[in-house]
Amino acid sequence: AEPEGYAIAVGSGLSFAARRLILATGVKDELPAFPGLTALWGKKIFHCPYCHGYELNGGMIGVLASSSLAIHQALMLPDWGPTTLFLNDAFTPDAAQLAQLARRGVTVEAEPILAIGEDQADITFASGRVIRLAGLFIQPRSRLSSPLATQLGCKLEAGPTGEFIQVDTMRETNVPGVFACGDVAVAAGNVAIAVGDGARAGAAAHQSLIFR
């Protein structure tokens, strides 16, 4: 921080002065530790029904549980295709949740999973049984991809999948003159939300230079 704003040093050694900063550094996804997930991430394995449900064209959909968030995915996804929740010893629904899943027509599989297909998100159980899927949903954790927010003293909030930067309605952080937008500043985001959020933060930063 500088008396009239901020000085930003980049890896090449150059330094830039700014009266306002907008943090739009995004987050990094941390996938559950299960072989095969990384190769199919974003291709056949997803995390957001609203982003990718339509791509599956009514095909068989799986939810691989790694946390209790799996119940939310499993309850939403039947509107995009027949859905199976794979517990894989990671999550056990209670009686009320099982009743909710039954009402939504979700199949629950408790048998441990041996492998996920290399080209398709097919599930192979320990018994050798195979279920072919159009797509598989998981619950990754997310973390800020840059330490800048912490270095600047921005407050963070705990979201369902990881921390994000706390902002007000004008997308400004608790640090005067520092704004944040996109996935770094929402509990759960996507591309469309991030684009709109960036426009809001940019307008707010500009107006703060004029009217504050």
26: left (phi over 0), alpha (psi -120 to 50) or beta: left
Q: pLDDT, tens digit, for every residue of 135-159?
A: 999 999 999 999 999 999 999 999 9
Dihedral angle over CA of 125, 43, 141, 65, nearest 10 = -20
Of 183, 174, 181, 171, the C-alpha closest to 208 is: 171
Q: Residue 13 pLDDT > 60, yes or no?
A: yes
pLDDT in tens, 152-200: 999 999 999 999 999 999 999 999 999 999 999 998 888 888 999 999 9
What gap in Å lies between CA 66 and CA 138, rounded to an integer?
7
Structure tokens at 27: 């987050």
**Quick check: 2 pLDDT over 70?**
no
pLDDT at 197: 94
pLDDT in tens, 67-116: 999 999 999 999 999 999 999 999 899 999 999 999 999 999 999 999 99
Confidence of residue 12 (pLDDT cuts 50, 70, 90): confident
**Cα separation, 117 vs 36, whole angstroms:** 7
Can you give the pTM of this predicted structure? Answer: 0.87
